[in-house]
Amino acid sequence: MTVLALETESPNTNDTITFPTAWKRRHLLDLESLSADEINILLDSAERLKWITGGCRRKLTLLSGKTLANLFFENSTRTRNSFSLAAKRLGADTVEFASSSSSVSKGETFVDTAKTIQAMGVDWVVTRHSTPGTPHLLARELDCCVLNAGDGAHEHPTQGLLDMLTIRQHRGQLNGLTVALVGDIAHSRTARSNMWGLRKLGAHVIVCGPATLVSPRWAELGFEVAHSLDEILPRCDVLNLLRIQFERQKSRPFPSVHEYSNRYAMNGKRLRRCKPDVLIMAPGPINRGVEITPEVADGPHSVILEQVTNGIAVRMAALWLLAGANEENR
Amino acid sequence: MMDPQPLLIEHGRLVDPSQGIDRLARVLMSRGKVIAIDPCDDDLPDYHHHIDARNCIVAPGLVDLGTEFREPGREEDETIETGGAAAVAGGYTSVLCSANTDPPIDTPAGVELVRRIAAACAGPRVHVIACASRGRDGEQMAELGLLAEAGAIGFSDSPRPIHNSALLKYALDYCRMFDLPIFDRPVDPDLVEDGVAHDGQVALVLGLKGLPTEAEDLAVARDVRLAEATGGRLHVGPVSTMGSVDLLRRVKQRGIEVTASVCPHNLWHSDEMLRSFDSRFKVHPPLRSDKHIESLINAVADGTIDAIQSGHMPRAREKKMNDIDQAPFGASTLETTLAVIATRLIHTGKMDWSQAIMRLSTKPAKIAGISAGTLAIGSPADCVVINPNETWKINSDDFYSQCHSSPHDGDEVTGRVVYTIVGGEIRFTRRPALQHLV
């Protein structure tokens, strides 16, 4: 068993974290393939690291000497910075590659780009790409740890984990809760990661949105499919409001933004029909007025900003666990 | 082609559905033709080569209704020479080359070029399917009459569908003058956008853009209706859906003479393979779900689908190395088609060898209107010798094709080509030397 003791800069002698021997994975590619135990290890570690760092603010030296490379082929501000901050809070260095400024714009394939970056001696590659499965391809090609920061409409595992951590912190557990994912399920990687993760931990998942964006095939896979937000509102413990991904839609799958927000936007009137302790979440960036009105986004039920903080926590946990597993492998 | 020595194939099981033969027989070939079945010893020429086909099947060489040799212009994917080597290694003695080249073959000079290059290679007989539209733009009909005079044996905009219904109707009508077929790959492009995988549960879970079955069904429905309206010769294919099969079954019952084909990869693996995100499973038509596979297998067995085509769409390694969105559709299939069919359809009892040779050789030759697909006396000595019971593992590194991407890489199959003979000349063999008889 590896015990990683922390630097003494922390005044509290309880500030230690023990590496869970059950954790074996070197990559975090999706939540569909993780077990409930593995997800719990990630969430527990995130909670612990969040506490040790005083709410993700204090810097540790747990992973000093290691380097994280952000390899983003799609625009991102919050996820990229969140990974960078997570690495820095644990004492690691970071290096940034953006597709527009790298060799990819000169015609290099992304696998070649990733191999080049690995050859510079990085320990983690965090990747975002518009094509599903690109992190899986990298994981086959690279020796370092690969973290999926979003692959097309497939998965965004750390987003799923931070959503689950946020719910767990408010409700103690996920088992037995009803969680609705509302909006553009078809194009949402956040939705897919949430669906698998929540279900593995015992939550009931409803996917809700226009029929053109919520396939009836999800029902065959055991998820509840709904097209009317008003009908499901009173049953939900959590509402996770997803952004409409206009950039991924070639032809409009609904008549107008006006009609969409009329049917699916979370507003004050709808909020009053919810359970009194309902949690309102959004993965962001949020489109105020489209899927959520300001009074709800900024209201007492909203945990949107907590999600952002928890994002750093789950990313610290993921980096720490993957690096530990990789070390043991060697 | 020089006149090869007379060639006697003996001790083999002759399977020739064109003559209804399935029995042990000797086949004698000379001057590029079949000259005798079961000749008596006295009739044998004094000096001839001989092949001992013990425990093997002797059949008319396979005929491919749609293959891509990417020459001219895309030689990084495949040349006529490398594609030809792959074809004969797969038992093909005639292939119909589609015009997916750069520039596309839409002039008599283009047809001539391909025919000349092919004639200089020791591969299969190469026939040209020229463009149906000028520059394959899908708008203006190409000079079909002049292309026919130059030797084109049919027309297609493959791998694109002929989307413009007016163009397809005119082309079908116009081609009645030359009695040549139009080959259409049935897809409604409005319904597929940038799809990469069968629009089913797997694509849903993986977030892959879908290729819905109705995009094919609608195109097949339109195509057969236009064939009926014009009386033109139409071949739709490759098809990959239950919906296509249903439509074809109905129109054939009504006596409409359209023909259809299917690719071997659509008879085996399902879209589950895409879970690996490996672009070697990005093929066209896409790997679909099990119910479609079952429907296609039944349709090939009962003749609703007339022919099996290799679907050979070679693409260079650096192109297939890309992620699943960027990587092009395509696979190297000429060298594996026969083995896949033997494994999936014959050894499972879905059809016998005679039916398989019908779908792989006799019927495709008839659809193409070429002299092939038979070993009747006087026909070209194009023949394949198959060991039906040899089990081997497909290794795409061993391919003669320049393209090493295969959805069947690593699959264990039973049935293998031993000799491929074109015009009485051995163009491929897996055995070291010929035995001689004086």
- The C-alpha torsion from B37 through B43 and B49 to B52, rounded to 10°, is 50
Residue B329 contacts residue B283 (beta carbons within 8 Å)? yes
User: Which among B340, B378, B363, B427 is positioned nearest to B87, based on CA atoms?
Assistant: B427
Predicted confidence at residue B434, as pLDDT, reads 55
Q: Kindly give the interhelix angle for B213-230 and B165-174, rounded to the nearest 10 degrees.
A: 40
Alpha helices in chain A (DSSP H): 36-52, 78-89, 110-119, 134-141, 157-171, 189-200, 217-220, 229-232, 257-264, 268-271, 294-297, 304-329
B278: nearest CA in chain A?
A137
Angle at A272 between CA A266 and CA A278, to 5 degrees: 75
B260-303 pLDDT, tens per residue?
999 999 999 999 999 999 999 999 999 999 999 999 999 999 99
CATH (one of 3.30.1490.20, 3.30.930.10, 3.40.50.1370, 3.30.565.10) for A157-308: 3.40.50.1370
Output b/e per residue, A25-40; b: 16+ Cβ within 10 A.
bbbbbbbbebeeebbb
Which regions in chain A score pLDDT beneath 70?
1-14, 99-107, 248-250, 330
The CA distances from residue A128 to A72, A80, A136, A165, A190, in Å, are: 5, 9, 12, 22, 13
The predicted pLDDT at position B147 comes to: 97
Is B204 an 8 Å CB contact of chain A? yes
Instruction: Give the chain A residue whose CA is nearest to the CA of B192.
Output: A250
Cβ atoms of residues B87 and B401 within 8 Å: no
Give the pLDDT score at B58.
98
Query: Which parts of chain B register pLDDT below 70?
Result: 1-3, 432-438
Predicted pLDDT at A108: 74
Average model confidence (pLDDT) across chain B: 95
Q: Domain spans of chain A?
A: 3-155+309-325, 157-308
Judged by a CB distance cut-off of 8 A, whether residue A215 touches chain B is yes
Residues A216, A211: Cα–Cα separation, whole Å: 8
pLDDT in the model for residue A315:
98
Other CB atoms within a 10 A radius of the CB of residue A248 amount to 15
Specify the DSSP class assigned to residue B72: T
3-class SS at B11? Answer: strand
Supply the pLDDT for residue A321. 97
List domains and CATH numbers for chain B.
61-368 (3.20.20.140)
pLDDT at position A10, please? Answer: 47
CA distance A57 to A89: 7
DSSP assignment of B112-129 equals HHHHHHHHTSSS-EEEEE
ω before B285 within 30° of 0 (cis)?
A: yes
What does the alpha-carbon distance between residue B316 and residue B328 come to, in Å, rounded to a whole number? 9
**Whether B80 contacts B69, CB under 8 Å:** yes
Looking at the complex, report in whole angstroms how far the Cα of residue A133 sits from the nearest Cα belonging to chain B: 5
Helices (H) then strands (E): counts for chain B: 12, 19
Please tell me the CATH code under which domain A3-155+309-325 is placed.
3.40.50.1370
Residue type present at position B56: C
User: Three-class SS of residue B422?
Assistant: strand
Strand B412-422, strand B425-429: pairing: antiparallel
Q: What is the pLDDT of residue B4?
A: 73
Residues B196 and B208 sit within 8 Å (Cβ to Cβ): yes
Are B381 and B304 spatial neighbours (Cβ–Cβ below 8 Å)?
no
**DSSP class per residue in B203-255:** HHHHTPPEE-HHHHHHHHHHHHHHHHHH---EEE-----HHHHHHHHHHHHTT
The per-residue pLDDT for range B103-139, each reduced to its tens digit, is 999 999 999 999 999 999 999 999 999 999 999 999 9
Sort out which chain B residues have CB atoms less than 8 A from A187's CB and list them: 207
Fold: same for A3-155+309-325 and A157-308? yes
Q: For chain B, say whether A250 makes contact (Cβ under 8 Å).
A: yes
pLDDT for residue B409: 97
Q: How far is it, in rounded angstroms, from Cα B389 to Cα B392?
A: 10
Q: Is the minimum CB–CB distance between A247 and chain B shorter than 8 Å?
A: no
Tokens 């079949």 correspond to B34
- How many angstroms away from the CA of B389 is the closest CA of chain A? 36
Determine the residue of chain A that is closest to B277 in CA distance: A133
Binary contact (B325, A131; C-beta < 8 A): yes
